[in-house]
């Protein structure tokens, strides 16, 4: 019985850590996507300003 309880506690700890890692990676991906879009927008605005008009 003690072995079963220890196995369940170990499984709970592993799943908790995996859940935190996956949730952290989700937020990291979200932040990276927002920063990528901001770079595209700012890069486009700067490149339009630098083009000489004839």
Please compute Rg for the chain using Cα positions.
24
pTM above 0.85, yes or no: no
Phi then psi for residue 9, to 5 deg, are -65, -40
The HSE-up count of residue 1 (CA atoms within 13 Å, CB side) is 0
Token pair belonging to 25:
């990676």
Task: Quote the distance between the C-alpha of residue 12 and its chain's center.
Answer: 23
Render pLDDT for 2-51 as a digit per residue (tens, 0 to 9).
899 999 999 999 999 999 999 999 999 999 999 999 998 888 777 777 66
């Amino acid at each position: 019985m003690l072995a079963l309880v220890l196995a369940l506690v170990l499984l709970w700890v592993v799943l908790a850590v995996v859940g935190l890692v996956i949730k952290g990676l989700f937020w990291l991906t979200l932040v990276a996507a927002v920063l990528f879009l901001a770079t595209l927008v700012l890069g486009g605005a700067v490149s339009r300003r630098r083009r000489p008009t004839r």
